[in-house]
């Protein structure tokens, strides 16, 4: 009995000593720091593999916020967008609560992320793991609110539309959802208001190629295999700054096209225009080779600027072809036939009136040339007849002179005929050259105005 009484007294003494120790530690009288006491208190019996709710029917809501820090890269070929974001989320952990009065009024504490339950919120568009810094801690306040802040380099798939390049606008989405839990277990919500998320550009580095316009948020519930899930989608809308591409791509092409138009003022009957336009065509080909690496390339579409370059190349080829045809038309050849009458009526009468280039110089020049030829033959004949010779010798001399004059006159008439043929084709060539030049100029201006209007609309949209 004595041993039994001594054992009971010893047990009561140990229990009293242990209880007083715990009480004194909670009242701050223990040399052990308050943060260590709080950490031991929170981790005592904590199971990070269990969703932290006392009632399993209660849903854990994860509040999400996204702030875009920088646009690191846009890969049009692989349809990949690389961004750097600041991601924030918080949720309520009912197992991580305490009374601050018992721990020296500590209201929040940092806890290693690996020791507590963390929701499995992922981005659906992830295609690669970025170089994101590891943030090993979360903040927990005395009410059980867990704050998880971390920067993330996001490499996501995005449907990039490059048709409007370099005036393109891209809309890429970041969809945050629980990978496993249904909406009955984990729901997602927006931390801030949609207006605040949309207009927040305080962290964005606004010095690169891309400009952040806004970030739109959208909550959605969807059903998959008879289970309901929740997701929060952020639409990151960015716009490319086109100045670099306008200066290095559009302006050189425009200058070459202007020089091609100016080349039409060279005389068509000279060989300089052909060599000039061939040089322009070769220069434009070299220009396209240089800028080919700058243009974005995808397997599903071609940017409009690529079509613009191809059309400009085609216009240069058409311009060279027109020049070659006109030069061939006006080139002087002795075996060239007369201009057909229907061509004269169509080109020299109707088209000249339409183009307001009616000219009488050609007729005057042809009449003057014929008159000069007849005048030369007449003068020679008069000088020959005016010589005093005997009658017989005079008759032989006259016949010889008349034969020679007839030969000269035939030669002059033949030469005048060839000259007239050349002048007719030259005049037809000049008229057709003016006609084709104006048609070409109208086509270039219409094409330029159309593209400028479209690009201006995209720039201001």
Q: What are 359-392's pLDDT values in tens digits?
A: 544 443 344 344 444 554 455 545 544 545 456 6
Rounded to 5 degrees, φ, ψ at 152 are -135, 135
**Residue 85 near residue 67 (C-beta atoms within 8 A):** yes
Place of tokens 């989608």: 233
Specify whether the CB–CB gap between 189 and 232 falls below 8 A: yes
Give counts: helices (H), strands (E), the chain: 11, 11
Closest CA to 284 of 252, 258, 261: 252
CB-count burial class (<10 Å; 0-12, 13-18, 19+) for 169: middle
Strand blocks (E) in 93-144? 108-112, 121-123, 126-129, 137-141
- 150 beta partners: 87
DSSP state of 440: H
Quote the radius of gyration of the chain (alpha carbons, Å): 46
Confirm if 234 and 65 have CB atoms less than 8 A apart. no
Which of 288, 339, 358, 296 shows the shortest CA–CA distance to 317?
A: 288
pLDDT at site 334: 53
- Which of 215, 2, 271, 416 has its CA nearest to residue 263? 271
pLDDT at 143: 94
CA-based nearest residue to 163, from 301, 309, 312, 311: 301
Distance CA 326, CA 187 (A): 76
Question: What gap in Å lies between CA 28 and CA 106, rounded to an integer?
Answer: 12
Cis peptide before 270 (omega within 30 of 0): no
Q: What is the pLDDT of residue 313?
A: 92
The DSSP bridge pattern shows strands 60-75 and 186-190 to be parallel
Q: What would the two tokens of residue 274 be?
A: 């052909």
pLDDT in tens, the chain (461 residues): 443 343 444 444 444 443 444 444 445 455 688 899 999 999 999 999 999 999 999 999 999 999 999 999 998 888 999 999 999 999 999 999 999 999 999 999 999 999 999 999 999 998 887 788 888 999 999 999 999 999 999 999 999 888 888 888 999 999 999 989 999 999 999 999 999 999 999 889 877 889 999 999 999 999 988 889 999 999 999 999 988 888 888 899 999 999 998 988 888 777 788 889 999 999 999 999 988 888 887 767 778 888 889 999 999 999 898 888 888 777 755 556 666 666 666 666 667 766 677 654 444 334 434 444 455 445 554 554 454 545 666 677 777 777 788 778 776 766 666 666 667 766 777 777 888 888 888 888 888 888 888 877 776 66
Q: What is the largest CA-CA distance in the chain?
A: 193
- Identify the pLDDT of residue 121: 93
Count CA atoms closer than 13 A to 15's CA, side-chain side. Answer: 6
* Contact by Cβ (8 Å): 165, 249: no
Q: Structure pTM?
A: 0.71
Q: 282: helix, coil or strand?
A: helix
Cβ-contact 285, 310 below 8 angstroms? no
326: which 2 tokens?
């006109």
CA distance 60 to 8: 48
Place of tokens 């041993």: 3
Q: What angle in degrees, to the nearest 10, is found between the helix axes of 251-262 and 391-460? A: 160
Structure tokens at 426: 């030259």
Comparing C-alpha atoms, which of 179, 197, 201 is closest to residue 188?
179
Q: Contact, 106 vs 115, CB < 8 A?
A: no
Cα distance between residue 199 and residue 11, in whole Å: 67
> What is the spatial distance between Cα 248 and Cα 295, in angstroms, rounded to a whole number?
11
CA 280, CA 273: separation in Å to the nearest integer? 11
Tokens linked to 179:
């990978």
Cross-strand partners of 228: 223
Beta bridge partners of 139: 110, 147
């Amino acid at each position: 009995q004595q041993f039994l009484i001594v054992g009971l007294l010893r047990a009561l003494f140990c229990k009293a000593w242990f209880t007083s120790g715990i009480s004194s530690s909670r009242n701050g009288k223990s040399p052990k720091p308050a943060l260590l006491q709080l950490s031991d208190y929170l981790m005592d019996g904590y199971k990070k593999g269990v969703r932290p709710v006392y009632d399993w029917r209660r849903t854990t809501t994860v509040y999400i916020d996204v702030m875009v820090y920088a646009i690191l890269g846009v890969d049009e070929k692989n349809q990949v967008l690389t961004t750097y974001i600041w991601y924030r989320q918080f949720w309520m952990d009912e197992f991580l609560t305490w009374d601050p009065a018992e721990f020296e009024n500590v209201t929040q504490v940092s806890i290693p992320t690996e020791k507590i339950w963390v929701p499995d919120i992922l981005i659906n568009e992830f295609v690669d793991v970025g170089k994101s810094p590891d943030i090993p801690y979360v903040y927990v306040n005395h009410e059980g609110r867990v704050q998880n802040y971390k920067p993330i380099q996001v490499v996501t798939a995005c449907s990039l539309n490059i048709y409007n390049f370099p005036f393109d606008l891209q809309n890429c989405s970041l969809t945050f959802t629980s990978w496993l839990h249904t909406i009955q277990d984990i729901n997602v919500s927006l931390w801030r208001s949609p207006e605040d998320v949309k207009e927040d550009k305080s962290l964005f580095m606004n010095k690169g190629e891309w400009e952040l316009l806004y970030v739109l948020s959208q909550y959605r519930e969807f059903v998959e295999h008879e289970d309901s899930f929740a997701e929060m989608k952020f639409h990151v809308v960015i716009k490319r700054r086109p100045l670099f591409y306008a200066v290095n791509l559009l302006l050189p092409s425009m200058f070459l096209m202007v020089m091609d138009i100016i080349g039409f003022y060279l005389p068509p009957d000279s060989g300089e225009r052909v060599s000039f336009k061939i040089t322009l065509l070769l220069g434009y080909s070299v220009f396209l080779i240089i800028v080919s690496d700058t243009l974005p390339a995808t397997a599903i579409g071609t940017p409009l600027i690529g079509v613009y370059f191809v059309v400009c190349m085609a216009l240069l080829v058409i311009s060279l072809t027109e020049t070659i045809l006109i030069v061939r038309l006006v080139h002087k050849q002795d075996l060239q036939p007369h201009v057909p009458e229907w061509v004269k009526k169509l080109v020299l009468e109707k088209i000249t009136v339409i183009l307001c280039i009616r000219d009488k110089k050609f007729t005057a020049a042809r009449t003057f040339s014929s008159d000069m030829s007849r005048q030369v033959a007449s003068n020679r004949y008069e000088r020959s007849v005016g010589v005093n010779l005997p009658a017989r010798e005079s008759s032989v001399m006259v016949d010889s002179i008349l034969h020679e004059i007839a030969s000269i006159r035939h030669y002059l008439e033949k030469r005048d005929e060839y000259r007239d043929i050349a002048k007719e084709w030259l005049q037809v060539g000049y008229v057709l050259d003016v006609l084709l030049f104006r048609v070409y100029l109208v086509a270039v201006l219409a094409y330029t105005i159309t593209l400028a209007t479209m690009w201006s609309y995209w720039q201001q949209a």
